[in-house]
Every structure is written in C-alpha cells, then in structure tokens.
Amino acid sequence: MSLACVGLVTAALLLLDHKLALNLVPVAYLIPVIIAATQWGIWPATLASVAGTGAADFFFLPPLYSFEIDDPQEAVDLLLFLVVALVSSNLASRLRRETEALRQREKEIQQLYEFSRRLAACFTVSDLISAIQNYLSHALGQQAAFFVAMADGHFEPPKSGSVPSVVQERVASMIAKVAVPAQTIVDEPTQNVWLIRAVCSEAAVHGLVAVNIGSGSREIIDSRTGRVETILEEVSLTLQRLDIERAMEDARLHLQAQLLRDAFHGTLSHELRSPLAAIRGSASVLDSMPLIRRDDRAHSLVEAISDEVADLDGFIQNLLSATRLTASGVSPRLEWADPRDIVDAAIQRRERRLSAHKVEIEFAEDLPLVHVDSGLIEESFGQLLENAAKYSPSGSTIAVSARAERGRVILAVADQGVGITPDEQQQLGRRSFRSQRHQATIPGSGLGFWIASTFVRANGGTIDMSSRGHGLGATASIALPGPQTKAWADQ
C-alpha cells in the first residue's frame, strides 16, 4: 500500500512540469509517508520513506532514470529528506498508536460504565454474580467462571464452563475467608494465565472469580489483569452497598419487632393486669365482709375468684417474662443474696399451688451467699416448683434443698412424679416445649422451663433436669456461682 502511494505521487509529479516538480519533490513524498504512518504504522511508513527517496532520485534528479546523483548538494538534500521522512513517520505512527490506545480506553470505560449500571440494578448477591459472569465472558470476550462461596467455607465450582482442572484444584484448596489474596496460575497445556480473585464485601466472601487473562507478554498480562481488577473493585463496592441495604432492612424489621413487643408488653402489664388488680382487690374486700364470712358458700365462691385470678396473674407474669426475654435479653441486677431467702420467697409465692403436696425443705449448714439477681432466680426456682407440683400426684412429697458443692450453690427440687424420658430431656430447653404425654392432661404453655433456664443462664448459672426414668420422679436443679473467696464470712 505504501509503495502504491509512492507510485501515485510519482505519477502525479511526472505529469507536472519538470522544473516545478523538482521543487515539490521533498514535500510531495512526505505525503505517502505520513499517510502510511497514521494508517498502517511504523514499518509501512519507513518503507514509504525509502521508496520515496528512491523514486525522487530515479525520476527527478539528474541524471534522470538512474540512481546516480551528479550534484553532491542534491545528494545531501535527498539524505536530509530521508531523515525527515523517517522521523516524521515515526512521530506520526506514535500519534496513531496513542489515538488507538485512547480509543481502546474509551471503549473500556464505556463497557465499565455499562457494567456499573448493571451493578446498580443488582439487588441481591445472585443478581450480582450473574452480572459478573455475563460481563466477563461476553463483553470482554474472556473466559471466566464464578465459584460461589458455601456456608462451610468452601467454593462451589460452576455447573458449566471450561475451567481447566489446574484452576479447579487450586480453588478447591482455598478456604473462604475475608482477605483471600489474588492469585495467578498458569494452565500448562494452553499457556494461558488465569487470575483468581475473591469477591467480597466487608462482612463476607461471596465467591471467587477465575478469569482467563490469555497468554502473551508480561505487559499484556498486566494490563488485562488491571482491567479485571477494576471490574472487581466495582463489584466490591456494589456488594458493600447491598450489605448496607440489607443491614438497614434488618434494622428496620428489628425495630418494628421491638416496637410490637414493647406494645405487647405495655398492653399485657397495663390493660390486662389492671382489671385483674380490680378483681383481686374486690374479692379480697368481699372476703373480709362479715356478711360473706358468715356464709360458707359465698366465702368459698370468693375464694375461687381469688384463686383463679392468682393463676391468671401467674400466667400473665410468665408471658411478660417471655416477652422481656425475647425483647431485650435479660440484664440481671446482681447482688449478694442468701439462697435461703430466694428459696423461701419462691415457696411462699407458690404456696397455694403447692398446697396439695407435702413440701420438705432442707438447707445445708454454712450456705454461702450467691451473687445473683434474686428476683430472677426466685422466678426460675418458682417455675421448677410449679412443674414439680404439676407433674406429680397430689399428696406426694416435693423435696426442696439448697447445698454448697465445689464452690457453687445448688438449689434442687425433687418430686415423686411422672419423671422425664431421655428424649424429652433433650428438648427441655426449647421454648414452648411440651411433652406429648402431658399435652392433653396437664395444662401449661411450655414457657416455664425455658424462662427458668434463660434467667438462670443470665445469672451465670446452669439448670439441670434429671430423672431415673419414667414414673420415678424428676429432680430439677439450679447451680449458681458462689463466692470465690471466704473473705466475706468474717465480719
């Protein structure tokens, strides 16, 4: 092509007057050189320069139609032309390269822009993953695969795709954790370089991208790697945005739940307990009236009202405790308390429920004080007492004891009731668990033991339930942290 250009220029110059042509020669032959340089690059331009020099000498410098030169001045001119042509061809071709690079960059930026627009439209991580795959493999024309991070810390290989086994093996050996470094790996048979890079937000690794960078010189590899890195940078930003959105959504839901629970709590404690207070109070006033006291039937009816109200209040108290647990967790108000006081208070509060049973209380000598929220422990112990009364026959004995054991204080309730099976034992700690055996016969909400165990745990204690088997009774015990030193004992 450059030779054709030179020929064209020569023909054009030949048509002109020889004298005029001679003046135009150096300038005219620069035209094909510049054209070749801008259009086809440095080598065609050099060829055009040499060809132009030759043609000028052959056609226009005396002696005509020979490569010899008579005038040494003209020889110098011709050499000068050659140098100028070579230099300008070099300059022009560099200009062309830069324009091309610029155009390429513009294209890349355009593609990235498209990609980030797609990312902006992503609302879930899986949307994002498909966008990455799509972009890497189609828009960039590069082979890419996405390995999804699994919950167990490994990466799930993609279902389809042509990822070489070397890459697969490497990925399989990697563990999903934050800050997995980027790696490159060479696939020997094809000499292709694969880049492996984690896609992660601040909180978690979502997966790995493996991209075929292709083969070639170090610079090519580096520039392609740079491109992929840029894309993944975008992806990370989008992931962070998704994380933030999800966190905000979670916070909003949490707040709603919190408000609902607070409302429930408020309603329970005020709207339900106020009428109860009026009923209980009115019944107690009735009960003290001489008119009622004289009449046994009326008296027993009033007593029935009081009893039922007490039951109902206990039930509401349970629900309140449960909502309190779910709402904010428990923050115990720790103080040194006498375990005897706790046990006594719990028994006294449940006196009516325990009235059908024989309650035997045994306190060990030298019981240390315990550092707990006595209200919470009293409530927990009360739950155990209530369960013992519920699941053992009337007239049987409920043995209550408190003892110190290896620096801890154990409060125990042993009954002579139905006992529990190992299967039931496993499920005990669950909220609302009620054994199939008793669901029809013994009323309850299944909240009691759950509340008790949560309260005890909040106080740094443990709760345990054991039974020698079905029908052999059960022993529930609370172990509380005792004092570390005996320093308090000497007053």
Partner 1 sequence: MNKSTNVVLLIDDEPKIRRFLRAGFELHGFSVLEAENAADGLKAATFNAPDLVILDLDLPDLHGTEVLEGLRSWSNVPVIILSVVADEDEKVRLLQSGADDYVVKPFGMAELLARGEAALRRYFKTATENPIVMAGPLSVDLVGRTVSLNKNQIRLTRKEYRLLHILAMHVGLVVTHDQLLREIWSGNQRDNIQYLRILVRKLRQKIETDPNHPRLLVTESGVGYRLQARLENGLEN
Establish if 405 lies at the interface with partner 1 (CB under 8 A).
Answer: no
How far is 150 from 154, CA to CA, in rounded Å?
5
Residue 333 sits in the site that holds partner 1 (CB under 8 A): yes
Dist. CA 111–CA 85, nearest whole Å? 39
Contact stretch for partner 1 (CB under 8 A) within 59-67, 83-91, 137-145, 330-338: 330-338
Decide: is 386 part of the binding site for partner 1 (CB under 8 A).
no
Under the binding rule (CB under 8 A), the answer on residue 369 touching partner 1 is yes
Give the separation between CA 429 and CA 450, rounded to whole angstroms: 5
- In the complex with partner 1, the residue whose CB is nearer, 71 or 335, is 335
How many residues bind partner 1 (CB under 8 A)? The answer is: 43
- The yes or no reply on residue 281 touching partner 1 (CB under 8 A) is yes
Q: Which of 227, 273, 437, 438 binds partner 1 (CB under 8 A)?
A: 273
The CA distances from residue 95 to 37, 88, 102, 420, in Å, are 9, 10, 10, 89
Nearer to partner 1, 35 or 384 (CB): 384
When asked if residue 383 is in the footprint of partner 1 (CB under 8 A), the reply is: no
Cβ proximity to partner 1: between 221 and 325 the closer is 325
Pairing label, strands 397-405, 358-363: parallel
**Cα–Cα distances in angstroms (integers) from residue 342 to residues 225, 369, 393, in the given order:** 70, 11, 25
Among 36, 345, 447, 463, binds partner 1 (CB under 8 A): 345
Q: Tell me if 407 contacts partner 1 by CB under 8 A.
A: no
DSSP per position, 52-69: HHHHHHHHHSSSTTSS--
The region of 35-43, 113-121, 201-209, 269-277 touching partner 1 under the rule CB under 8 A is 269-277
Q: Is the Cβ of residue 188 or residue 490 nearer to partner 1 in the bound state?
A: 490
User: Considering only 190-198, 284-292, 412-420, 453-461, which stretch makes contact with partner 1 by CB under 8 A?
Assistant: 284-292
Residue spans of beta strands (DSSP E) within 20-177: 144-149, 155-156
Q: Where are the alpha helices (DSSP H) in 121-210?
A: 125-134, 165-172
Please select the residue that binds partner 1; options are 374, 387, 416, 477, rule is CB under 8 A: 374
In the complex, what is the shortest distance from the CB of residue 418 to partner 1, in angstroms, rounded to a whole number? 28
User: By CB under 8 A, is residue 331 in contact with partner 1?
Assistant: no
Of the pair 3, 312, the CB lying nearest partner 1 is at: 312
Q: For residue 359, what is the enclosing H or E element?
A: strand 358-363
Among 177, 270, 430, 470, binds partner 1 (CB under 8 A): 270
Applying CB under 8 A, which of residues 118, 206, 280, 434 lies at the interface with partner 1? Answer: 280
282, 435, 445, 462: which one binds partner 1 (CB under 8 A): 282
Candidate list 24, 140, 279, 325; residue touching partner 1; CB under 8 A: 279
Provide, rounded to whole angstroms, the least separation between the CB of residue 361 and partner 1: 7
Please tell me whether residue 306 binds partner 1 under the rule CB under 8 A.
yes
Could you say which residues in the range 32-61 bind partner 1, by CB under 8 A?
none
Site string for partner 1, 441-460 (x = CB under 8 A): --------------------
Smallest gap from residue 392 Cβ to partner 1 (A): 21
358 touches partner 1 (CB under 8 A): no
Answer left, alpha or beta for residue 387, where phi above 0 means left and psi between -120 and 50 means alpha. Answer: alpha
Among 90, 230, 269, 401, binds partner 1 (CB under 8 A): 269
From 89-97, 160-168, 237-245, 281-289, give the range in contact with partner 1 by CB under 8 A: 281-289
* Of positions 215, 274, 421, 439, contacts partner 1 by CB under 8 A: 274
| Best CA proximity match to 52, nearest among 83, 73, 74, 76 | 83
Please state the closest distance from residue 263 (CB atom) to partner 1, in A.
16
Print the binding letters for residues 215-254 with partner 1: x by CB under 8 A, - otherwise: ----------------------------------------
Angle (nearest 5°) at CA 394 between 391 and 396: 85
Q: How far apart are CA 260 and CA 263, in angstroms?
A: 5
Residue from the set 45, 53, 61, 378 that interacts with partner 1 by CB under 8 A: 378
Binding residues for partner 1 (CB under 8 A): 269-270, 273-282, 284-285, 288-289, 306, 309, 313, 317, 333, 335-338, 340-342, 344-345, 348, 351-352, 361, 363, 369, 373-375, 378, 488-489, 491
